[in-house]
Structure 1
Amino acid sequence: MKINPITCAVLAALAVTRVSYADDTVQPAPTTPSTSAAQPAKPDASSASTLGTVTVTAQHTAQDMQDVPITLQAFTGTTLQQLNVVSFDDLIKYLPNVTFAANGPGQGNIYMRGLSTGFLGNQSSASIAPFPNVAVYLDDQSMQFPARNLDIYMVDMERLEVLEGPQGTLFGGGAEAGAVRYITNKPNLNKTSGSAEASVGVTDGGAPNNSANVVLNLPLIPGTLAVRGVIYHDHEGGYINNVPSTYTRQSTDGGGAMAPYVAAGGTSVINNYSVAQNNWNPVDYQGARLSALWKINDDWNFLIAESYQNLDAKGQSSTYPIGTDGQTLGTDQITSFVPAWNNDHFTNTSWTLNGQIGDLSLVYTGGYTNRHISEQQDYTNYSRSAGGMYYQCTGTSAGLSSAGKPICYSPVGYWNDHVNSTHQSHELRLSTPEDYRFRVIGGLYYEDFNIDDHMNFNYKTIPSCTPQNLANAVAGGYPCVANAMSSPGVEMPDDTAFGEVEQRGYKQEAAFASLSYDIIPEVLTVTGGTRYYHYSEWQTGTEFYTTTAQDNVPNGTYVGNDTVMNYHKTYHGFKSRANVVWHITPNTMVYYTFSQGFRPGGFNRTTSGVAKLDGEAQYRKPISYAPDTLTNNEIGFKTTFFDDRLMLNGSLYDMRWDNVQMQFFNPLVLGNTTFAVNGPNYKVDGGELQFQARLTDGLTLIGSGSLNHAKQTTSPCLIDNIPGSPRYNECIIQTGAVGAETSFANPFGEIGSVPAFSPRSQYNMRLRYDWTFGDGFKAFAQVGFNHTGSMYNQPATYPSGSGVTDITTVELRYLQAGYNTVDASVGVAKDNWDVSLYGTNLTDNHASVFTSSAQFIESEVPIRPRVIGLKVGFKF
């Protein structure tokens, strides 16, 4: 793997410390005020008679999760192993207020409490998608990315925290609706230990699975310096079949524009036989993590970690109910015509310095992430639209060239995306002792986030103007079309019709403070805090396209067929929070929380005029869109009863999401590129309940559920913003040519309608029994149930996709049916060995987690079919 320069510098600093081997004397571990270096312990579930505690750092201080005045869920590393959770797809079933619009591994958006305006898919997402409103953290490093949440493989984890509601004061932009925090295990200074685990499994109707990981913790200087390493590999067999299919052009394609070509015999039938195969979507995770902890003295310690992961997902994770030629397909089938993949790898270097300056605790933490993505997906179905035909046919006004006899070339198309990004962050925190009656946490934050995206839509199949093709065209043969140019002198591949070479990103500086005061010590506490942020955001590059000016001219001829972007803006503000916490008894806490969140704005690639009426544009796309904001008012309680054998937590919340960012893509009306604007407001009223019960010393029942009432509260319209047009400053209600005007539906949605990816209810429950038998054998059995309610993939007023076969937009609205899943496992352990048999999705449900028309055909991303697996582990 490639090590970045910052990694080298920090490793070099560590290298000056002389390492020697010492005796096995156990020495005290260093004081670790850091959120990264703390290692909370949890009783072994098989032997504890109470629920125990889980320590979290959701407020940048170590606390029992029962003392944190927000709705959160925390899973220890032991729990994650027991639930066979290694990816976010595995975890989502245990999160009652979280949905996931997933287009495959590493390709999706996380939503909390129904705060979503839909998901358009992955093409150009690095360039055009708004930044997410749920933050993802690996330890203290932000891993957010537009529409591509990093899919961190969960092995050797200390815990995972899911913080619901806005976290803008402590975690900044991106944590608008909440945050997901992956906390890794840190080196143990005093104990040599390790583990190895391997599993094999079968997928119903698919290929086998296997995985293995090894962990080693080694004190190099006991009590002073230790290292910890983990290496893993996980292969998930494919289960989607790319079935043999043909593609036959129809007279009705392109709204009837294909009819002259079919009549003239200028089309041919093609097939996908060269790429058709069963189980074509296998996924491989490979990675490693190495960390070192140095106890400098009793007051200071330093932690450094290097993480690497490569995710290789072949094929596509979606299926088609109806195939490319209109045939009905079976379960988990697709008709794709090109090789497809998503390769996503990252390296992350992070470091944390903890220390004491008098009574103050100091934490400096920083990180540098390099991420590289290469993806290719089928786009052949776009050829049935007028836009696709334009780049593949000549001889009539519907094609790119009207010269010559009507002819169409291959309809096979695809898009190819190459993304490189870097994300650097630094945070300095100071805090007073936790036993002070008046406590303060304050800090400074800086980050620099850069994305470089090279995106090609490769569906131009008209021959390019090579010297021979150009000579034939000039002599009266079929026309040729010169290759697209991204800027003068930069020529694209000969099948590229449209794309971008684009860079975007931002720099953020922030300062934050949180103050807590015990009005009545250990009974009544008030907290207030705020964050000042300043963003410098930018987007540069070029968007290129193919036009009629490229007919019959030599390749390499620049005809101005691009749009240059050079956009910059800054914005700043404050986001705050306040809590009142009342411990009615030591085991009963009620709270009120006010909190605010936000996410950064962004830019659009062009400012072209669209929504034409009688040939005149009524709307000019804006250069940029502003941040949106969220305000949360929440009351809740956290309680334990019966000597810590029953935990019951609940919350009610009212959230106002304002100036919400929305994306539009409607080629027939709003132009052939996606753009974003600020639109309506939403209101979410809801509640969540969590419980854990130790029914007997070995029997535990755990469950959680949410009920939300989410609705749109305003409905702005798309306003004619072009001076001099007939309806300037009025709502756009009609588009179309003279004599063929049609009504234009408000794309912002309707007041009272439900937002996208906002199920009314979600709940889960699991039962686990632990017991011992024989000569030191420990056994367990557990079963879990999950329910996710039905939801839409797009806001109201978007056209329904039900029964639509002539798809001209990626924004069709589909109802994703609610579904249930059941998981179970049994196992036995003795001494250092354990073995378990597990099953996921035992009812073999094939529900869709993301239904869309993103590829100009109805597609569904199904949950993984039933899996039966065997896992063996060893610890020392």
Structure 2
Amino acid sequence: MGRKADLLIVTALAIVTPAQAADRQNISIAPARLGEAVVALGRQTGVSIGMSDQSLAGIATPAVTGRLSVEGALRRLLRGSGATARRIDATTWRIVRARPAPRPTTPAPVPAAPLPDQPAADIIVTASKRDTPLPRYAGMVEALDSNLFSSGEASGGTATLLARVASLSSTHAGAGRNKLFIRAIADSGVAGPTQATTGQYLGDMRLNYAAPDPDLKLYDVGRVEILEGPQGTLYGAGSLGGIIRIMPNAPNLGEFGGQVSAGLSATQHGDPGGDLSATINLPIVAERIALRVVGYGVQDSGYIDDVSRDLNDVNRARTYGGRAALRFAPDENWTIDINGVYQHIEGRDAQYATQSLGRLQRASSVAQPYFSDYLLGNIRIERQWDTLRFVSSTGFVHHDLAESYDATQQDGPPSLFRQRNDVEIFSTENRLVRDLDNGLGWILGASYLQSRSKLRRTLTSYGTAPLQPQVIPGVPMFGGGMPATATGVRNSVKEATLFGEASFEPVKGLIATVGGRLTNSRLSGEALDPIAALSSADLARAEAQADRSETIFLPSFALLTDAITDITLYARYQQGFRPGGLAVDDQRVRRFQNDRASTVEIGFRKGVPGRDTIAISGNLAYTDWRNIQADVTDRIGLPTTANIGDGRIYTAEARMVVRPVARLTLDGSIIYNDSRLTQPAQFLRALSYGGRSLTLPNVANLGGRLAFDYRAPLGDAMRLHLSGSARYVGKSQLGVGPILGRTQGDYIDTSLSASVTRGPVQMSLSLTNLLDSDGNRFSLGTPFDLSSDYYTPLRPRTLRIGIDFAF
């Protein structure tokens, strides 16, 4: 089953006639964790066994064999665990804590990694909001459990997910300022006021809206699930490409513990780096209240040299932050979680280079620093009644992102363009869920979201004369380092939503899922600090167009069959959308409209990764994307937003996970994308020329990944873990049309890591970019110079040594 931040319900399906409590049966259960053991017991006896405290699932259980009653088998499994089994009816049992669990004699790392020979549990897709077993989920999903992340990988944040998931891509502008794309649903690489195409969540709380990836570090995270989109029915606006759901470890109500990790890294061609983290779990009132706190600091070393300013390793970035979670469980049916997150990222300079100057070098007139401040607060309440569950999640996000770009013109004085995006999100969702046997059930919910973003801009010249030549028409250049204000924009949206989804089995072996989301959006926008060149009439007209109310219905349908033993076949149709808003370019403030993506896909799945010897999955998808919103650049180079036309995307992907022996896992995946802008907007037709392909930007046409994972004991007291991967990222284009049509990608990224664990201590060694490949992850340097041969190189070969200590 795995640990989850959500309430854990373990439901075993009856495969024989349900047994009475006193009936004795032949039972054989291997040593495991309690979560896996009760699933095995349920399958062998036909009873249903539930747990209301997710922390119980990780308790180690002994082997249980013999002719026993259900009650006798449970008594043996729970002996010495501090938990007890309560009988609900003839075929239903619930496991609860009887007293605080005893502290283990040998501390285990947090979170504990399963032993190599431990039977694997089924994968539950919790991001479906209905705890759907993977074999009965109609769609492509990547589920990354905590035992896959080392502390070094946790310090990498989103970069770790990019290295593991072939369908996930990024703009690589820098930590905290990247745009993420799933599959081929990508609008552009320029940062503007559009809503993200990929939704990101921490548990049930939305992380982003009209801002880039906050790049939260993955310390003390129990699981990450990536669902390919659209996911409009359950997640609403901004989930065209899909969603990324991070589930941190929940406070443990019965056990004190924690972990400390530290690492030092050395980057070839760069300066040293390092990371430090600490986690502590503190029960305050046994079995009722517990607090869990995580803190961390990371320094990513610089490796870009600026020859113009005679500076080395200018692109160093520092991150510090933490999370705190307070859990209150007044009884076995209620769970209340209060969560807080803070993270600060500070980049000393941009991370792009110039190919014509030599490897890892560029020539800039000014430094281009940036920072990201991220603050989140959330309260989640859950109530359980056997198969019925109520969940309420309410929270607030404040995200402040400041960026800067070199705006120096040829033969002009050094100039710097600054852009600051201040985003606030309030959201609440309340849903009622009924989880029936094996993925059947329904969900009904209502949500409200309010987002406000303020994008402010300034332009500064460092020339000595009091007045300098204008870079942006209408924006004066004062000289002497005095900033001049350029036109900004404010956008706000208020969304009220009703949504529902139900899965039922009209005939045996065929599951139908029907859902829909009805959203009313109230949109408004206005120009901030408009320059004199913008007429009052034009501003009033644009703002009047932006103030509007829209109602959108997003349907979804899916069919799935598992009538063929160990094989799942499915077909799915779903839609997603993004609301419009206001954008500003060098001369105008204008409205951009909604866009909508509709996807039809078919796929198959055989086996479950980590459980079966061979697990294979594949998917074919077609997406019709109308009125595409994209952040583009105006003729001066300023980021702005426009509807660039209609497009279509074909996607084919496949994955195979093989376990030739219990200790070794081999993982291979491949994805092919064919994306085209079939009906370009008029302004793009004017820029284009005959024979040029208008492909959608920033997603490679071909990608793939090969990886291995090996775990084995070293004697009686130690464990060895070896892993390695190679990921190929094919060619893509920076943007749409000839101006932004530069090629990027076509590189291989590699990594290798090893760790040895003895009791509570783990020593690790990792090496990334083994081949010291230069690569080109992103072809944008500064938008004020689109003619230079800028590129964003891979981080050079980096060695990290780390130590983790659990208590």
TM-score normalized by structure 1?
0.74
* Corresponding residue number in structure 2 for 1:633: 600
Q: Match for 1:165 among 223, 226, 229?
A: 229
Q: 1:812, CA displacement in angstroms? A: 3.1
My pick for the range that moved more, 436-445 or 307-316, is 436-445
Contact 1:486 1:542 in 2 (8 A): no
Q: 1:417, CA displacement in angstroms? A: 2.7
Q: Match for 1:455 among 432, 454, 457?
A: 457
* Corresponding residue number in structure 2 for 1:57: 126
* Corresponding residue number in structure 2 for 1:533: 519
For residues 674 and 841 of structure 1, the distance between their equivalents in structure 2, rounded to whole angstroms, comes to 32
For residues 28 and 372 of structure 1, the distance between their equivalents in structure 2, rounded to whole angstroms, comes to 48
Contact 1:498 1:546 in 2 (8 A): no
Q: 1:774, CA displacement in angstroms? A: 2.5
Distance 1:750 1:185, change over 3 A: farther
Q: 1:820, CA displacement in angstroms? A: 0.7
* Corresponding residue number in structure 2 for 1:303: 337
Q: Match for 1:824 among 752, 755, 758?
A: 752
Q: Match for 1:574 among 519, 529, 553?
A: 553
Distance 1:357 1:751, change over 3 A: farther
Q: 1:312, CA displacement in angstroms? A: 1.2
What secondary structure, in the 3-state scheme, does the structure 2 residue paired with 1:503 have?
Answer: strand
Residue type of the partner of 1:840? T
Residues 43-89 of structure 1: per-residue CA shift (max 9 Å, x gap):
94542365543333121022333331111111112212288243212
For residues 297 and 308 of structure 1, the distance between their equivalents in structure 2, rounded to whole angstroms, comes to 30
* Corresponding residue number in structure 1 for 2:423: 421
Q: 1:202, CA displacement in angstroms? A: 0.4
For residues 451 and 28 of structure 1, the distance between their equivalents in structure 2, rounded to whole angstroms, comes to 51
Contact 1:364 1:428 in 2 (8 A): yes
* Corresponding residue number in structure 1 for 2:798: 867
Whether 2:655 is the aligned partner of 1:690: answer: yes
What secondary structure, in the 3-state scheme, does the structure 2 residue paired with 1:623 have?
Answer: strand
Residues 505-524 of structure 1: per-residue CA shift (max 9 Å, x gap):
21111110111112246x32
Whether 2:721 is the aligned partner of 1:780: answer: yes
Contact 2:461 2:480 in 1 (8 A): no
What secondary structure, in the 3-state scheme, does the structure 1 residue paired with 2:208 have?
Answer: coil
Distance 1:765 1:606, change over 3 A: closer
* Corresponding residue number in structure 1 for 2:29: none
Q: 1:692, CA displacement in angstroms? A: 1.5
Distance 1:208 1:181, change over 3 A: same
What are the equivalent positions in structure 2 for 1:236-255 lying under 5 Å apart? 236-243=300-307, 245=308
* Corresponding residue number in structure 1 for 2:171: 101
Distance 1:546 1:672, change over 3 A: farther
Distance 1:588 1:499, change over 3 A: same
Q: 1:622, CA displacement in angstroms? A: 7.7
* Corresponding residue number in structure 1 for 2:493: 506
For residues 538 and 464 of structure 1, the distance between their equivalents in structure 2, rounded to whole angstroms, comes to 38
Contact 1:629 1:658 in 2 (8 A): yes
What secondary structure, in the 3-state scheme, does the structure 1 residue paired with 2:801 have?
Answer: strand
Residue type of the partner of 2:487? E
Q: Match for 1:442 among 437, 441, 444?
A: 444
Whether 2:26 is the aligned partner of 1:26: answer: no
* Corresponding residue number in structure 2 for 1:770: 711
Distance 1:562 1:377, change over 3 A: farther
For residues 584 and 437 of structure 1, the distance between their equivalents in structure 2, rounded to whole angstroms, comes to 15
Contact 1:514 1:527 in 2 (8 A): yes
For residues 74 and 770 of structure 1, the distance between their equivalents in structure 2, rounded to whole angstroms, comes to 19
* Corresponding residue number in structure 2 for 1:197: 261
Q: 1:753, CA displacement in angstroms? A: 4.0
Distance 1:546 1:237, change over 3 A: farther
What secondary structure, in the 3-state scheme, does the structure 1 residue paired with 2:605 have?
Answer: strand
Q: 1:93, CA displacement in angstroms? A: 2.2
* Corresponding residue number in structure 1 for 2:28: none
For residues 714 and 830 of structure 1, the distance between their equivalents in structure 2, rounded to whole angstroms, comes to 61
For residues 28 and 485 of structure 1, the distance between their equivalents in structure 2, rounded to whole angstroms, comes to 74
For residues 560 and 437 of structure 1, the distance between their equivalents in structure 2, rounded to whole angstroms, comes to 57
Q: 1:666, CA displacement in angstroms? A: 4.5
* Corresponding residue number in structure 2 for 1:854: 783
* Corresponding residue number in structure 1 for 2:101: none
* Corresponding residue number in structure 1 for 2:510: 524
Distance 1:501 1:788, change over 3 A: closer
* Corresponding residue number in structure 2 for 1:589: 568
Contact 1:49 1:645 in 2 (8 A): no
Contact 2:502 2:514 in 1 (8 A): yes
For residues 211 and 484 of structure 1, the distance between their equivalents in structure 2, rounded to whole angstroms, comes to 45
Contact 1:717 1:746 in 2 (8 A): no
* Corresponding residue number in structure 1 for 2:250: 186
Larger radius of gyration: 1
Paired-residue identity, %: 20
Distance 1:833 1:585, change over 3 A: farther
Q: Match for 1:71 among 140, 143, 146?
A: 140
What are the equivalent positions in structure 2 for 1:466-615 lying under 5 Å apart? 495-497=482-484, 499-520=486-507, 523-545=509-531, 566=543, 567-585=546-564, 587-605=566-584
* Corresponding residue number in structure 2 for 1:745: 687
What secondary structure, in the 3-state scheme, does the structure 2 residue paired with 1:166 have?
Answer: coil
Structure 1 stretches lacking a partner, 5+ long: 1-23, 33-40, 246-271, 322-327, 390-409, 466-478, 548-557, 609-620, 719-731, 734-743, 800-810
For residues 789 and 211 of structure 1, the distance between their equivalents in structure 2, rounded to whole angstroms, comes to 31
* Corresponding residue number in structure 2 for 1:656: 624
Distance 1:784 1:705, change over 3 A: same
My pick for the range that moved more, 633-642 or 782-791, is 633-642
Distance 1:750 1:859, change over 3 A: same
My pick for the range that moved more, 309-318 or 653-662, is 653-662
Structure 2 stretches lacking a partner, 5+ long: 1-79, 87-93, 96-109
* Corresponding residue number in structure 2 for 1:844: 772
Distance 1:529 1:751, change over 3 A: farther
Contact 1:290 1:306 in 2 (8 A): yes
What secondary structure, in the 3-state scheme, does the structure 1 residue paired with 2:351 have?
Answer: coil
For residues 370 and 376 of structure 1, the distance between their equivalents in structure 2, rounded to whole angstroms, comes to 20
What secondary structure, in the 3-state scheme, does the structure 1 residue paired with 2:171 have?
Answer: strand
Q: 1:682, CA displacement in angstroms? A: 1.8
Residue type of the partner of 2:357? L
TM-score normalized by structure 2?
0.80
What secondary structure, in the 3-state scheme, does the structure 2 residue paired with 1:84 have?
Answer: helix
Residue type of the partner of 1:329? L
Distance 1:546 1:627, change over 3 A: closer
For residues 264 and 111 of structure 2, the distance between their equivalents in structure 1, rounded to whole angstroms, comes to 29
Q: Match for 2:670 among 702, 705, 716?
A: 705
Residues 669-714 of structure 1: per-residue CA shift (max 9 Å, x gap):
xx77655433432222222112221111211111211122222333
What secondary structure, in the 3-state scheme, does the structure 2 residue paired with 1:174 have?
Answer: coil
For residues 421 and 511 of structure 1, the distance between their equivalents in structure 2, rounded to whole angstroms, comes to 25
For residues 297 and 817 of structure 1, the distance between their equivalents in structure 2, rounded to whole angstroms, comes to 53
For residues 436 and 696 of structure 1, the distance between their equivalents in structure 2, rounded to whole angstroms, comes to 29
For residues 773 and 345 of structure 1, the distance between their equivalents in structure 2, rounded to whole angstroms, comes to 44
Contact 1:51 1:693 in 2 (8 A): no
Whether 2:189 is the aligned partner of 1:119: answer: yes
Distance 1:776 1:444, change over 3 A: same
Residues 143-175 of structure 1: per-residue CA shift (max 9 Å, x gap):
224452211111110111111120001000000
* Corresponding residue number in structure 2 for 1:9: none
* Corresponding residue number in structure 1 for 2:52: none
Residue type of the partner of 2:169? T
For residues 691 and 253 of structure 2, the distance between their equivalents in structure 1, rounded to whole angstroms, comes to 59
* Corresponding residue number in structure 2 for 1:757: 698
Across the aligned residues of Structure 1 and Structure 2, the Cα RMSD in angstroms comes to: 3.4
Contact 2:388 2:432 in 1 (8 A): yes
Residues 429-456 of structure 1: per-residue CA shift (max 9 Å, x gap):
0122423997320110101111223210
> Normalized per residue, which structure has more strand?
2
What are the equivalent positions in structure 2 for 1:788-807 lying under 5 Å apart? 788-795=729-736, 798-799=737-738
Q: 1:585, CA displacement in angstroms? A: 4.3
For residues 350 and 722 of structure 2, the distance between their equivalents in structure 1, rounded to whole angstroms, comes to 35
Contact 1:659 1:678 in 2 (8 A): yes
